[in-house]
Homo-oligomer: A and B are copies of this chain.
Amino acid sequence: MIRFENDYAEGAHPRILERLIETNYEQTPGYGRDEYCQKARELIQKACQAPDADVHFLVGGTQTNATVIASILRPHQGVISAISGHIFSHETGAIEATGHKVLTVPSEDGKINAAQVTELVRLHHAEAMPEHAVQPGMVYISHPTENGTTYTKEELTQLSATCRELGLPFFLDGARLGYGLVAENNDLTLADLAELCDVFYMGGTKVGTLFGEAVVITNNQLKKDFRYLIKQRGGLLAKGRLLGIQFETLFENDLYIELSKHAVSLAMRIREAFAAKGIAMRYDSNTNQQFPILPNTMIEKLNQTYSFTMWEAVDETHSVVRFCTSWATKEEYVEQLVEDLRKL
């Protein structure tokens, strides 16, 4: 079985494993106070052109989302998110478990826009007694989204400006950020994100590391005591250097970008192969996730060789499925898939 079902099926890039072996017997202080973490922080600050940013390393995405969001909101506030946002539907209520509601706005493709945020906030404050409802307290987006789509610099700039005008910290979940940065239509840089967001993170889990998410906080007001929050939510790894070593490796010599390009170029070949068969896509994704609308009969055939994710039923005979590539996807697997599609 060849797996295209997700982007975390394999381990880590070999250079990362090598570094773990080389450093294995070094003795370092715990909890991220080591030199590898320090080095990784500096590389990320540099990549973001944000020398004053605070950079923290956590283990996983759900943990990171809950930690960041709960560090920002007061008890009566909620976080605005697309209804398709990971925090709303795929994290077992981790946000609610910290006491906060996720305030959803509709989204067809995983993205939200500045006008939606403005309107939700306006409606809240237009209520006769707004204190009877959860107050919008910040904005969460994912980029790329859960649907593989991405924001343009223009869209992100508008969202950011709106958030600042409304006093809402703006948080970007970049679990798959690399795959967005190398998309063919991308016009955003890490420096843009550092400028436009108050806090964002770059996922390692899906882009070449064993695990790990790097949180970048640029808003000074959100920096205070963040390590306490990480510890309280169970995200402060004892052997914190493992995170430092991995992110140092990712951000040396542009490995992060290189790995991202690998995944996206293979995803584009899959997209083209479907297009060549006249298969439409559910979302217009230029990143590592592709969502073809397939006849159920084709799904059955492909399932004999490939694993991929059932996304949603379209009608009685068609369904949307998800194909993922990653930094580790073997070119030959994609070639085989392209060939198989051609023959179908």
Residues of A within 8 A of B (CB): 1-3, 5-6, 8-12, 14, 17, 20-21, 23-31, 59-64, 66-67, 70-71, 74-76, 78, 89-94, 96-101, 128-135, 205-206, 210-211, 225, 227-239, 242, 309-310, 328
Contacts and interface: CB of A to CB of B under 8 A. Distances in A.
* Residue of A132, A229, A235 with most chain B CB atoms under a 10 A cut-off: A132
Contacts of A90: 132-133
18 contacts: A9-B29, A60-B234, A60-B238, A75-B98, A76-B92, A76-B225, A90-B132, A92-B132, A94-B232, A94-B233, A96-B96, A96-B100, A96-B101, A97-B232, A128-B309, A131-B228, A135-B228, A205-B238
Contacts of A310: 128
A32 B2 CA distance: 19
Given A10-B24, A64-B234, 8 more contacts: A6-B30, A12-B24, A76-B228, A92-B232, A97-B233, A206-B238, A211-B237, A211-B239
A45 B64 CA distance: 32
Contacts of A12: 24
Nearest 8 A/B pairs, CB to CB = A63-B234, A76-B228, A11-B24, A9-B27, A92-B232, A3-B27, A93-B134, A131-B227
Contact of A231 (B11, B14, B31, B92): B92
A290 to B, nearest CB: 18
Nearest to A206: B238
Contacts of A211: 237-239, 242
Nearest to A239: B8
A135 to B, nearest CB: 6
